[in-house]
Structures are given as structure tokens and as C-alpha cells.
Amino acid sequence: MGPEVRALGEDDLRASHALFLRSLLVEPAKDAEWEVLARSYQPGRTFGAYLDGTLAGTAMTWGSTLRVPGGADLPTGMLTRVGVRADFRRRGLLTALMRATLADSVERGEVFSTLHASEPVIYGRYGYGVATRAPRVAVRTGVPFAPTAPAGGRVRFIERDEAVAVLPDLYARVGRSRPGSLARPAQWWPVAIERPSDDLRFIIHAGPDGDDGFAVFSTVDESANGPRLDALNLIGADDNAVAGLWRFLLSIDLAAEVSVWARPPDELVRALFTDPRAVTDETLNDDLWLRVVDVPRALAERTWAAPVVIKVNDPLLPDNTGVYSVSESGVRRGPAEPDVEVDADVLARLYLGTWSATALSAVGRLRARSPEAAARADRAFRLPRPAWCGTYF
Ligand SMILES: CC(C)(COP(=O)(O)OP(=O)(O)OC[C@H]1O[C@@H](n2cnc3c(N)ncnc32)[C@H](O)[C@@H]1OP(=O)(O)O)[C@@H](O)C(=O)NCCC(=O)NCCS
């Protein structure tokens, strides 16, 4: 008999978490850590895969919303804590878990499923594609700012208790301007900022209209030149707030470098200095992986820059398979000659404008009727500013 997947109850969560950590070769959480982690689950959204009566695989989701081009926030699952016991690998447990979590998403009326991949070659087969990119950006301290760089406002430290109280609302207010951004569920926050093992510092930026940005960082000693500040989050309502937070972090005495994880591809820090070599992009990683669970709704609720006809093939969620004519005035499903034909993972790559249909066609990932048809798809999906997620899970 194949694996059986069940939603886990509260009593099984610690075992599920230990299984996940073990699969990443990490020790299970100690009691103090677990006290925080126990608050990071949403009921009914953690799954166990059983084989021969043994809990041997697990995955969980949070319910969220994803901002799509045009500004709508659509119901979305955030899939995480995926792991299979090393002695049960390659026996179909992950596939069973992926089918179960996608079926759960469909049942909940979610339009997307999202994840961050530690094993990036695996998820394409389930219809996930890299939908945003986000480099880690590092800046040397002591480099003069360009004279025109925004001055920023006032920055103050807050303690962890205050961060727990104020950051969720501040993020919801100032952190959601881009397509690709995710609402952060209440259960996401404890893992991010309350774990006793993390020594985090919190700063708030205040602009002319009050608090409008924040950063969360820690100090590491890995840089060859001296201590480095590593920020997990640097979120500002506007360019002034983002510049103000960068300025403050770069002004902290003794730090040799400031490195901020997962910045937008058009991060403004690159333009803040007269010396362009002050800034290095350490990686241009895959950021958010997207799975379009409800294709008709996903296409209908985003805005389009130009018309295009798309044929979608989705054997895993066959209700999505079809031909969609999209334009500024809406979406029509039904017979039409497609400009481009895509599988679900490639639709996910295109959806937030991160990839070019022309480039994907050149490597055979997308079938285009002609170069002009691929260019039409490029125009249709394109966004004025790159999409960005910036929320890790
Ligand atoms: C990655 C992992 C979840 C796969 O679980 P699994 O139960 O062995 O996967 P399945 O047996 O269901 O295999 C699913 C498919 O992915 C492929 N696959 C699985 N792991 C793979 C890997 N590391 N590299 C390449 N392909 C892989 C399988 O060959 C199979 O392909 P097929 O559908 O063409 O037959 C498991 O190996 C694991 O827990 N790894 C460590 C933790 C981890 O990486 N978690 C992922 C966090 S994002």
C-alpha cells in the first residue's frame, strides 16, 4: 500500500516538527524553543504522511494572501516544513504530501500555493515555478553617500516585546506595496522574531508621517574585515524610509559591512553611493516559488498590460487546463488560437512578470506560435517595477 496522508492534531505537532528538522540534519527543538514554535501552527494545516503505520513525512501550510499585479490580495497557502525521514525517501511520500496540500488548497478556495525551496529541483514537477528573485545585498561601511541620496528620518531601537507588539501591524501597513508580497500570518511571527536562540535587534524608522519602516538584524563575525550586520528584514513604506534604514545600519560603529537578505531586484541602495563598488550582490537567489492553484481566478484578478492568448496544461489540477484569452478588459476561457502554451510551473514563472516568455521559449520551456506571439506575452505579463516577496518561510 502507498503512503497515506492525514491532517495532524495538536498532539502530533512536536513529532512532526522534529521529523522536519531531522530531515534537514538539524536537532529537534529544545523545550524553550518549542514553546515558541508551538504557537506557529494553524489548526488543521499540518499533514503527516504514514507508511507501514509510521509517521515518515510531513508538510504544513499557513493561510495568507498574495498581492497580485493591480493590487488584489488573493487567498494563498504558504507551504513549509517539508521533510521525509531519510529511511523512507524515494518511496513517494513527498508526492503524496504535495497532492494532499494542493487538494487542501483547492478545498479552501486558495488561488495560489507558495514556498521557498531548499531542494530547488524538486518542485517544478508539482507545478511550482520561481516567481520572484531577491538578491542578498551587502554594503561596505564608511563609503560616502551620493549628495542626492534621500536623508531618511529618525531611527530608534525597540526591545523584542515591543517588536512582537508592533511589527505585525507595521508590516501590514508598509510592507505590502509590491506584487509578490505576502500577508504574514500571526503564526509566522513567533518563528521570525521570538526564538530564544536568535539574538535579534529591532529598529523602527519614523518619517514625516510617523513610523514607516523597520529592520530586524543580528551581528555575525564572518566578514574578513570585521563584524557584519545581517538584516533579515528591511522594510520601508517608501524610498526615504528604505534609505533611512540603510543609512542607520551603515552608521553603526565597528561594523565593517551590512548585509540584507532578499532585497528587491531594483533595490535602491545601489544608487545611494557615488562608488558603485560599495555594493555587492552576493546571490541572486530564487525567492518565492508559486503554484497557481486556481488558474481562471488568478488570470481574472490580475491586471494586464496587453492582450495575449495562453494555453495552460495542468495534469495535476486538470480543471486548470484550457485556453485563456486575457486583456485589459478581462479573461475569456474557450477556443482560440494560443500565442503561447505553458505547463503550470512555467505559468507560475510568468505570472508576476519575473521571466520573459521570449527567453523561456528560446530554451523550450514555453511553446510560442511565433517570436511576435512570445513578445506579446512579454508585454502582457510585464510589470512597471519588479515583483518582490521578501518574506521567508
Ligand atoms: C526532498 C524530500 C522531501 C523528497 O521526499 P521523497 O519522499 O523522497 O520524495 P518522493 O519519493 O515523493 O519523490 C518525488 C520525486 O522527486 C524526486 N526527488 C526527490 N528528492 C530529490 C532530490 N533531492 N533531488 C532530485 N530529485 C528528487 C524523486 O526522484 C521523485 O521523482 P519522480 O516523481 O520523477 O519519480 C526528502 O528527500 C527530504 O526530506 N529531504 C531533506 C529535507 C528537504 O530537503 N526538505 C525540502 C524542504 S524545501
Q: How far is residue 393's CA from residue 129's CA, in Å, rounded to a whole number?
A: 16
Q: How far is residue 291's CA from residue 187's CA, in Å, rounded to a whole number?
A: 22
Q: Which of 313, 318, 328 is nearest to 379 (CA)?
A: 328
Q: What is the mean pLDDT of residues 217-233?
A: 87
The CA dihedral of 101, 104, 110, 111, to the nearest 10 degrees, is 50
Residue 240 pLDDT class (50, 70, 90 cuts): very high
Residue 122 pLDDT class (50, 70, 90 cuts): very high
93 Cα–ligand 1 center, Å = 8
Q: Which of 16, 51, 90 to mutate to test the pocket of ligand 1 (most atoms within 8 A of CB)?
A: 90
51 Cα–ligand 1 center, Å = 16
Q: Which residue has the cell 566578514?
A: 223
Q: Is the CB of 25 under 6 A from ligand 1?
A: no
Alpha-carbon distance values, 112 to 26, 127, 225, 296 (Å): 29, 11, 43, 11
Evaluate whether 134-285 and 294-381 have a shared fold: no
Q: How far is residue 48's CA from residue 351's CA, in Å, rounded to a whole number?
A: 31
Reduced to 3 DSSP states, what percent helix, strand and coil does the chain have, rounded to the nearest 5?
Answer: 30, 30, 40
Helix (H) or strand (E) holding 380: helix 371-381
Q: Which residues pair with 65 in a beta bridge?
A: 75
Q: Is the CB of 122 under 6 A from ligand 1?
A: yes
Residue 131 has pLDDT above 90, yes or no: yes
C-alpha of 7 from chain center: 24
Is 103 strand, coil or helix? helix
Provide the CATH topology of domain 294-381: Nonspecific Lipid-transfer Protein; Chain A (3.30.1050)
Q: Is the CB of 95 under 6 A from ligand 1?
A: yes
Q: How far is residue 65's CA from residue 54's CA, in Å, rounded to a whole number?
A: 34
* Cβ–Cβ under 8 Å, residues 56 and 84: yes
Q: Which grid cell sits at 295?
A: 488558474
314 Cα–ligand 1 center, Å = 21
59 Cα–ligand 1 center, Å = 13
CATH of 134-285, one of 3.40.630.30, 3.40.50.150, 1.10.4160.10, 3.30.930.10: 3.40.630.30
pLDDT digits (tens, 9 = 90+) for 247-267: 999 999 999 999 999 999 998
Note the pLDDT of residue 276.
84
149 Cα–ligand 1 center, Å = 47
For the chain, which residues make up each domain, given as ranges?
4-115, 134-285, 294-381
Provide the CATH topology of domain 4-115: Aminopeptidase (3.40.630)
Ligand 1: atom nearest CA of 49 is 7
Q: What is the mean pLDDT of residues 316-332?
A: 97
Q: Is the CB of 209 under 6 A from ligand 1?
A: no
